[in-house]
Amino acid sequence: KKEKPVKPDYTPAQKKRITTLLSPADDLSSIKELPTFKELETELVKKRKQDLRQMYEDDRRHQLAQLERDISLFLIEKGFMEVRTSVLIPAKFIERMGITEEDPLYKQIFRVDENTCLRPMLAPGLYNYLHNFDNIMPDPLKIFEIGTCYRKESDGKEHLEEFTMVNFCQMGSGCTKENLLNIIDDLLKYLNIDYEVISDNCMVYGDTIDIMHGDMEISSAVVGPIPQDLDWGVTKPWMGAGMGIERLLKVKHKYTNIKRSSRSISYYNGITTNL
Ligand code: ATP
Ligand code: 9VF
Ligand code: MG
């Protein structure tokens, strides 16, 4: 899907080009005289080149990488241990998650070969760690992973086929809805992101607590246990939440399209590289 066109008098291709060149801070509605396409394009190209040079001069951090680091440090500070598992996972893990052919997620899986697929979520890796660390670590066990996940998506402005998830979870004592919502509240306050809590349900977890920013889901949170825990050798209560990092960036920077915050060669920190 395309981003919203900006000015009525340009051709569709020109509107698209202007939209690509606009930054959320630009306000075209304040301009009274309508410049020619070429004038406006030249002006915006100049501004975007300046923005990029400024970033090179002052900061040099990639915003997606930086948000991953911020969230990681926040969770480590809260007592969660960071793990990193494979992006390539056994296809068996999909069934073991309880994702059957009827689940919409089933058809969204990128299959690599008969026995392997790209992970659509971080839960399989975390389940393995919950099981293996249970008799090593004190109670409660708190872990998290940040990494890319892959899903075939058809819908545009809020979905990427390659996106970054943070999923934290706690197993053992203290796994209440109240504690879960408190961690999410602390994290989103720390990131300065407004949200609303609603309930939803999905095929994998049953009832979920969804964290919304306007109409966009930014996180799904769950308080276990659930039946498929036993297939992973997990026998204690747990709570956890998965959050999309590009969606957080989209909110933070008021991007009209999530592509601006994705892994990309077309945008650098939300600015088009086609200048
Ligand atoms: P949606 O209903 O918006 O497709 P979902 O409920 O299928 O999302 P979850 O499985 O709950 O997504 O994943 C946890 C979080 O990961 C979501 O709340 C969202 O922030 C993020 N997320 C999921 N799918 C995508 C995607 N395709 N692109 C970007 N972020 C995503
Ligand atoms: C909530 C969103 C099952 C104990 C290893 C951790 C969670 C997160 C739901 C995510 C998903 N679940 N995208 O599980 O924290 O897996 O669908 Si666990
Ligand atoms: Mg969800």
Q: How many CB atoms lie within 10 A of CB 33?
A: 5
CA-CA distance, 204 to 231, in Å (whole number)?
A: 13
Separation of CA 265 and ligand 1 centre (Å): 23
Beta strands in 120-161 (DSSP E): 141-150
For ligand 2, whether the C-beta of 249 sits within 6 Å is no
Asked if the model's pLDDT at residue 101 lies above 80, the reply is yes
| The model's pTM | 0.96
Separation of CA 225 and ligand 1 centre (Å): 21
Looking at the CA of residue 126, tell me the nearest atom of ligand 2.
Answer: 5
Separation of CA 204 and ligand 2 centre (Å): 9
Give the pLDDT confidence score for residue 156 in this predicted structure: 86
CA-CA distance, 252 to 103, in Å (whole number)?
A: 32
Mutate to test the pocket of ligand 1, among 107, 205, 220 (most ligand atoms within 8 A of CB): 220
Which protein residue has the closest C-alpha to ligand 2 atom 3? Answer: 123
Asked if the model's pLDDT at residue 96 lies above 70, the reply is yes
Closest CA to 239 of 166, 183, 164, 186: 183
For ligand 2, whether the C-beta of 169 sits within 6 Å is yes
| Burial (CB count <10 Å: 0-12, 13-18, 19+), residue 85 | middle
Separation of CA 256 and ligand 2 centre (Å): 27
Q: What is the ipTM of this complex?
A: 0.97
Mean pLDDT of 81-109: 98
pLDDT in tens, 198-254: 998 999 999 899 999 999 999 999 999 999 999 999 999 999 999 999 999 999 999
